[in-house]
Amino acid sequence: MSAPEVRSATFVAETRAFASLPPVGLPEFAFIGRSNVGKSTLLNRLAARHSLARTSKTPGRTRGIIFYDLQLGELADQMRSGGNSGSSSSGPLLRLADLPGYGYARVSQAERRSWQQLLEGYAERRPTLVLFVVLVDARRGIEEEEQQLLEWLATLSIPSRLAFTKVDKLTASQRGQLRDTLRSRLPRIPTGAPLLVSGQTGDGIPELWAAILRALPGAASESAAPIVPNPH
């Protein structure tokens, strides 16, 4: 499995309030997770660009929702349709949304409230939202916040996919243990099979791309993770 060619990746907008979200356009894939989990690094890796999204060792780097539009090459069309598509010269267009990280202590109450409102408005009322990719640090595992987030998205019927980041920091046996733990917990995780990824090494990126492309409207359905259309 390989990742599709990303023909272009462009910054669209950064917004801190629901009222100033950019006009709806391409199908959107939102990346959410604890501060410092590696959201921006993963977006750069997906886009195959070094510095599209700003990354930082200091938590709390991304403060608003930042949107990027991607134009993919034709391999993406083949991945979407399970390999039977014709030979079109360019692939699909889609939008990635980098959300601010939660759980960062040095953020004021006011900023926390405004971020919460932005997230709720975005999740509940964005018609082009396709999928939430919920990122979890592979060394921390799923904590209370992630469990609540997954359950909240499920109550809104918003499809979500869990991805464990920074798996390059795990030994092979720790990765095996994580997979075993996830398999035993799966019935309690309201999402498709979790992905193991690394923005640093590119591990799991083709699988993450496959999940994104199969969730795109009009794509062949993915049997491991049925996609429920977002009714909002």
Alpha carbon distance 158, 169 (integer Å):
30
Q: CB under 5 to 8 A by kind: which of ligand GTP, Mg ion, none does 59 bind?
A: ligand GTP
Residue whose CB is less far from ligand GTP, 42 or 216: 42
Pick one of 36, 40, 44, 165: the residue that binds Mg ion (CB under 5 A). Answer: 40
- Residue of minimal Cβ distance to ligand GTP: 101
Query: Using the rule CB under 5 A, is 45 a contact of Mg ion?
Result: no
Residue whose CB is less far from ligand GTP, 39 or 214: 39
Q: CB under 5 to 8 A by kind: which of Mg ion, ligand GTP, none does 191 bind?
A: none
Q: Would you say the C-alpha torsion 87, 83, 217, 63 has a positive or negative sign?
A: negative
Considering the complex, what minimum distance in angstroms separates the CB of residue 118 from Mg ion?
15
Residues at the site binding ligand GTP, with contacts judged by CB under 6 A: 35-41, 55-57, 59-62, 101, 165-166, 168-169, 198-200
Alpha carbon distance 74, 128 (integer Å):
23
Nearest to 145 by CA among 192, 193, 111, 112: 112
How many residues bind Mg ion (CB under 5 A)? The answer is 4
Q: CB under 5 to 8 A by kind: which of Mg ion, ligand GTP, none does 103 bind?
A: none
Alpha carbon distance 196, 137 (integer Å):
10
- What does the DSSP assignment read for 162-208? EEEE-GGGS-HHHHHHHHHHHHHHGGGS-SSS-EE--TTT-TTHHHH
Alpha carbon distance 226, 211 (integer Å):
11
> CA angle, 166 as apex, 176 and 182 as ends, to 5°?
35
Query: Using the rule CB under 5 A, is 35 a contact of Mg ion?
Result: no
Residue whose CB is less far from ligand GTP, 37 or 72: 37
Considering the complex, what minimum distance in angstroms separates the CB of residue 36 from Mg ion?
8
Backbone angles phi, psi at 178, to 5 degrees: -60, -45
Residue whose CB is less far from ligand GTP, 91 or 104: 104
Alpha carbon distance 11, 22 (integer Å):
12
Considering the complex, what minimum distance in angstroms separates the CB of residue 80 from ligand GTP?
26
Query: Using the rule CB under 5 A, is 61 a contact of Mg ion?
Result: yes
Q: What is the 8-class DSSP label of residue 22?
A: P
Residue whose CB is less far from Mg ion, 68 or 213: 68
Query: Using the rule CB under 5 A, is 36 a contact of Mg ion?
Result: no
- Where do contacts with Mg ion occur on this chain (CB under 5 A)? 39-40, 61-62
